[in-house]
Amino acid sequence: MNEMSKNENLDIQIYNFAYLDENTKRMIRRALLKALCIPGYQVPFSSREMPMPYGWGTGGIQVTSACLIPKDILKVIDQGADDTTNAVSIRKFFQKTANVAVTEKTSDASLIQTRHRIPETKLKEKQILVYQVPIPEPLRFLEPRETETRKMHALSEYGLMYVKLYEDIAKHGHIETAYAYPVKTNGNYVTDPSPIPKFDNPKMNNSPAIQLFGAGREQRIYAIPPYTNVKSLDFEDYPFEAMKANFKCSICGSSDSYLDEIIVSDDGKRSYICSDTDYCKEQTKLNSKKED
């Protein structure tokens, strides 16, 4: 045993596996099971203090912590990238507290925690996708009273949700909502998909993977079980469109992945690259193979 892994063993003794104590995990697992039974329904849970501030994905981290098993292979992304500060620190956190294997490859991961994106690579059965959610209530900005929004969900009174889309079209001539575009889960609850671009919405539909959502500050957990119908809300004459910038990635040349706009020179020249760094790498590899 080398010096390095000795230290790791030490850490594991200091922290319970994956940081949270077993009672807390059990409480979160109960909430998760309930959430899976009622797709899209927001289950309250008593969120714990985590060693990082809200807004850093404390809800997602608690869900991940409750789901992790030692043989998991973990991937963490922020805006599609594995190498941003947020993603790196969460990945390190679980390496340290759970000593699990980590990967950047979407297809190798058994559990993926994400902020603001769904990976481009199609997810598979038995994979778990954990979303970090800032505001779980899709009706929040329309109806601030929690008692009222709960009732609206219970009675599926979603007229107001359509009012929001109506306002968008009235103001902009099209549905302007580009992120956190509301969906109806299993034909029942209107659900906030977290601030993913609406380009990703179709990936939620009928996905073989388990999708779990954790909101730490708001203390809510919700879930979409595998192969669940997830439909983006729209009007007959203004159908939902999964839009993205109409360019090619300047690294891998892909035209079907979601792109980030970057400024590449001092005079403001713009370029577009895949937001999903793993996908971009894979595409680049494929391209060079083809050329060989």
Partner 1 sequence: MFRHRLLQRTNQIKFKKRRLIMKQNFLFQASNISKYYGQNVGCKNVSLDINPGEVLGIVGESGSGKSTLLNCIYGNLEVDEGDIFLNDKSKTILNFTKISEPKLRLIQRSDLAFVHQNPRDGLRMNISAGGNIGERLMAIGHRNYGEIRQIAANWLEKVEIDVSRIDDKPSTFSGGMQQRLQIARNLVTRPRLIFMDEPTGGLDVSVQAKILDLLRNLVRELGIAAVIVTHDLAVVRLLADRIIVMQNGNVIEAGLCDQVLDDPQHKYSQLLVSSVLQV
Q: Of the listed 60, 80, 214, 280, which one is catalytic?
A: 280
Please report, to the nearest 10 degrees, the dihedral formed by the alpha carbons of residues 198, 201, 203, 204 taken in order: 150
Answer whether 45's CB lies under 8 Å from 221's CB: yes
- Residue 252 known to be catalytic: yes
Q: Give the Cβ contact number of residue 40 at 10 Å.
A: 23
Helices 85-98 and 3-14 cross at an angle (nearest 10°) of 90
- Nearest-CA neighbor of 132 among 176, 99, 84? 84
Is 236 a binding residue for partner 1 by CB under 8 A? The answer is yes
In the sheet with 73-78, reading across from the earlier edge strand, the strands are 43-44, 220-224, 210-215, 128-132, 111-115, 73-78, 101-102
- Which of 160-168, 185-193, 220-228, 241-249 is the region at the interface with partner 1 (rule: CB under 8 A)? 160-168
- Give the residue with the Cβ less far from Zn ion, 215 or 249: 249
CA 111/CA 289 separation, integer angstroms: 29
Among 171, 269, 289, 290, binds partner 1 (CB under 8 A): 171
Could you tell me the CA-to-CA distances from 269 to 246, 255, 258, 262 in Å, in that order? 17, 20, 20, 8
- Residue 67 known to be catalytic: no
Is 147 a binding residue for partner 1 by CB under 8 A? The answer is no
Among 27, 124, 135, 167, binds partner 1 (CB under 8 A): 167
Is 160 a binding residue for partner 1 by CB under 8 A? The answer is yes
Cα 274 to the center of its chain, rounded Å: 17
Which residues does 4 contact at the CB level (< 8 Å), separation at least 6? none
- Give the residue with the Cβ less far from partner 1, 54 or 162: 162
- Residue 274 known to be catalytic: yes
Answer whether 190's CB lies under 8 Å from 153's CB: yes
Partner that binds at residue 157, options Zn ion, partner 1, none, CB closer than 5 to 8 Å by kind: partner 1
Is 266 a binding residue for partner 1 by CB under 8 A? The answer is no
Is 155 a binding residue for partner 1 by CB under 8 A? The answer is yes
- Which of 7-15, 142-150, 218-226, 274-282 is the region at the interface with Zn ion (rule: CB under 5 A)? 274-282
Q: Give the footprint of Zn ion on residues 243-272 (CB under 5 A).
A: 249, 251-252, 254
Q: How large is the greatest C-alpha to C-alpha distance in the chain, in angstroms? A: 67
- Give the residue with the Cβ less far from partner 1, 1 or 155: 155
Interface residues toward Zn ion, by CB under 5 A: 249, 251-252, 254, 274, 280
**Residues belonging to the active site:** 40, 249, 252, 274, 280
Interface residues toward partner 1, by CB under 8 A: 154-155, 157-160, 162-163, 166-167, 169-171, 235-238
